Amino acid sequence: MSAEAADPGAPLRRRSRPRIDLRRLGRVALRGPVSRDRLPDAISHVAEAHRAHHPDADLTILRRAYVLAESSHRGQMRKSGEPYITHPLAVTLILAELGAETTTLTASLLHDTVEDTEVTLDQVKEQFGDEVCYLVDGVTKLEKVDYGAAAEPETFRKMLVATGNDVRVMSIKLADRLHNMRTLGVMRPEKQARIAKVTRDVLIPLAERLGVQALKTELEDLVFAILHPEEYEETRALIAAATGPDDPLETIADNVTHTLRDAGISAEVLIRPRHFVSVHRVRRKRGELRGTDFGRLLVLVGEDADCYAVLGELHTCFTPVISEFKDFIAAPKFNLYQSLHTAVVGPEGAVAEVLIRTHRMHKVAEAGVVALGNPYAQDPAAPPQTEPSDERADPTRPGWLSRLLDWQESATDPDTFWTTLRDDLAQDREITVFRTDGGTLGLPAGASCVDAAYAQYGDLAHTAIGARVNGRLATLSTVLSDGDTVQPLLAQDTASGPSPDWLDHARTPAARIAITGWFSDHPDEAKPDPETADATGPGTRGEPAAATEREAPARSRSGPRPTGVVVDDPNAQVRLAGCCTPVPPDELTGFVVRGGAVTVHRRECPAVAAMQEIGRAPVAARWADGEGRESDAGCRVTLVAESFGRPRLLADLTEAIATADAAIVSATVEPPSEQRVRHTYTLRLPDAAGLPGLMRAMRDVAGVYDVSRAQHPAPTG
């Protein structure tokens, strides 16, 4: 099978296995079983491909699997008119050419028997064992008569869960879809489009994540031809027009070969044609295509060190395009891919992209997890484990799969699961961030501190008030980069809940499902009134409310909590507004909000004027005692520090706050503007009398030129 182009007419630069005549195989299959002393002729090509990768493989089980598949499918025909047995044979051949081991090929031959024939899982288990039975069950579709419209999403859910325990399930499914896509032309156009869209949205991203590039690229081209036929034909014409004797890549390849030979480096230099979708993407990116844009050079060597030796020679003897250099050997992609990428300028200014990898890296780059064989088999040469390990020695269970398996348990509704699955798979890159306890979190690129909080703490992340990223305080909206160290900060008030803004920053399904679920359980909190916007909405200068007074008593679900404030209605729950965080002896004004609670503001707070402008009646409020003291819980206040930027400023400010016996509930540090930095802190003080001293201590920090009480503007709508 060619990994380069889906179209059999596309030019190839290396010899490949001739295409199998499926109709001939079908006729052979109809002749039935053969004698026990040899393999059936119909799968001899599968055996040949399998032995190329596994010379010592025992083919007896393949013969038995074929006999069962052929006899159970006998009389069934595909819509193309071919005997049905040609389909499992073709799927098995695809996997055999990728290097799949015998168990996978056995299950592949049987993958439709339980679904489409009278064969049962118990029979498969009895004749072929638990592993083959598990793989066959994993790819068997759920009955539409039982699940209705939910059959497809629930089938995918079942396969994904099975893949979490054995990745070979998805390998068989991908090969199955590839052969079905190859023969999709007999279907009605609308059905072709529907299958192609599911392939595009779900199967191709899964092939990418599992590193099976040989399947992914051909699936992409087949989907491209169905969903974008005009652009596909234009691309086909461009590739055909570029095929000729004067290929600039041939000249550069010859020069590279001579250069490496002169340097004493043993290497194989190949021209790797781009597949149709790749050419189309390059055309959209660059506009006019160059002669070298239709392919790339592939340099294969024996050892990792030779890859860097090749790179050194190329960058010495040719002019390198430095911006094109990427080292995926030192930092492999999350789908096992390893290679060096570079680009060099050849004769007459032609630029050629070059991939440098070992033969082993190339096998994994093409076949991904399939090239790993059986990742669950115990290596006989490895010492026996004396203690059970919590972590499987399985590189096929990456972070994205673990996350998917976690959140799918919460997505009980099939529509939610299906939509969320497509959104999750659309995230095509992954980053790794470090926890302060030494653990790691695998997150999609673009993930924020919100995602890290839910990944680490689950539903406890509802109480998050901010984070430290690489030791610095950060808002929950902060986007994380690969290699960051993140420490989500949780409020002590376990009754607090998330902000609606968090949904704008959550990239992982687990976070979005958890946040949405919380608001489903607390509908009154989903759309806060203007006077409670401080508790859920904007921070200072439009910053997300990750580090503002969002977790304060306005989120309490455990009944009224003492605030030291008295209002006219003694039964009303009283909340201190986070926008102005009143403390004694501030003059107070309150407003009734949803649920009958009263939010209390400082009288000069902009929210007071805004509420009065829209006709809200104020409620009289006063401190509970004449001495201006709060309850034993202390008081909260939000302070804004204006300063000039300098090293260690944040550390000195937090030290001054701690020295004044104040606890930081949340903090926001805005990006510097004209060398000036604005810090917003929500603090808990044991006594309001300590506020003046705290503000003086913060003003005494070098570089701080002003400290004031927060006055967040309140919305008027």
Active site members:
115-116
DSSP states of 489-534 as a string? Answer: EE-S-TT----TTHHHH--SHHHHHHHHHHHHH-GGGTS--GGGHH
SS3 155: helix
Report residue 593 as tokens: 């909000």
Would you call 386 helix, strand, or coil by DSSP? Answer: coil
Nearest Cα to Cα of residue 608 among 534, 510, 511, 704: 534
Give dist(CA 41, CA 76) in Å, integer. Answer: 20
281 SS3 class: helix
- Give yes or no for a contact between 329 and 338, defined as CB atoms under 8 angstroms apart: yes
Of 688, 706, 696, 637, give the one whose Cα is nearest residue 665. 637
- For 203, which DSSP code? I
Element holding 376 (H helix, E strand): none
**CA–centroid distance for 417 within its chain:** 15
Cβ–Cβ under 8 Å, residues 620 and 590: yes
Nearest one of 473, 477, 495, 490 to 575, comparing CA atoms: 495
Cα–Cα distance measured from residue 98 to residue 364, given in angstroms and rounded to the nearest whole number: 9
Walk across the sheet containing 464-469 and list its strands: 440-444, 430-435, 485-490, 464-469, 472-474
DSSP-derived 3-state class of residue 360: helix
CA 420, CA 413: separation in Å to the nearest integer?
Answer: 11
